[in-house]
Each structure stands twice: as C-alpha cells, then as structure tokens.
Amino acid sequence: MTDLSIILSEIEVKVRKLLDAQRQLIEENRRLASENQAFREEHERLVRTNQELHDNINKTTIANALGNNEEGIIEARKLIKELMKEIDQCVSILNTKE
C-alpha cells in the first residue's frame, strides 16, 4: 500500500509540474501574440510611411524635371516609364482575375 501511495505522490508531483509548465507556456504564448500584434501594427505603419516617402520622391523628381534640368528630365522619364509598367502590371492582374 505504501508503494502505491509513493507512486501516487510522484504522479501528483509530476502533474503539478506539468500544470505549472502549461500555465507558463500559456502566458508566454499570450505575451508573444501581443508582441506579434504590435510588430504587425508597426510594420503596417512603416509600410504606409515608406509609400508616402516614395510618393514624395516621385513628386519631387517630376517637379524637378519640369524645371528645365536635363538630369531631372531624364530621371522623370525613367520614373514615368516605371510607373507605366506598374500600371500595366496592375491592369493585367485585374484582367486575369475576371
């Protein structure tokens, strides 16, 4: 009978350790999920900021090109060609989805 009570005590100790480990993992999972959400929001903010800055660079390049600057005109033409390619790609994607 004492062997049985010793075995049960050992099982009880192991179960408590497992429950503690589970609680710790649950808490860590919650913390990581929260951290992941914060990183996602930061990423979205940075993507928006990057897009705004990219748009500002494009506008500035085009504005400089209109100032009779030969280098600016060449750069603006390159930019316009790139934008046209991007527009064509978007149109082709839209056409394939229909």
pLDDT digits (tens, 9 = 90+) for 30-82: 999 999 999 999 999 999 999 999 888 888 877 766 666 677 677 777 888 88
For 19, counting Cβ atoms within 10 Å of its Cβ (0-12 exposed, 13-18 middle, 19+ buried), the class is: exposed
Judged by DSSP in three states, 1 sits in coil
CA angle (77 as vertex; 71, 94 as ends), nearest 5: 155
Task: Determine the pLDDT at residue 47.
Answer: 92
Which residue range is the domain that position 35 belongs to? 2-97
Tokens of 29: 């999972």
Task: Indicate the number of domains in the chain.
Answer: 1
Tokens of 39: 């990183």
Which carries the bigger pLDDT value, residue 53 or residue 93?
A: 53
Task: Determine the pLDDT at residue 69.
Answer: 66
Task: Determine the pLDDT at residue 15.
Answer: 95
Say whether pLDDT at 98 is over 60.
Answer: no
Task: Determine the pLDDT at residue 65.
Answer: 66
Look at the block and give the residue holding tokens 């506008």. Answer: 59
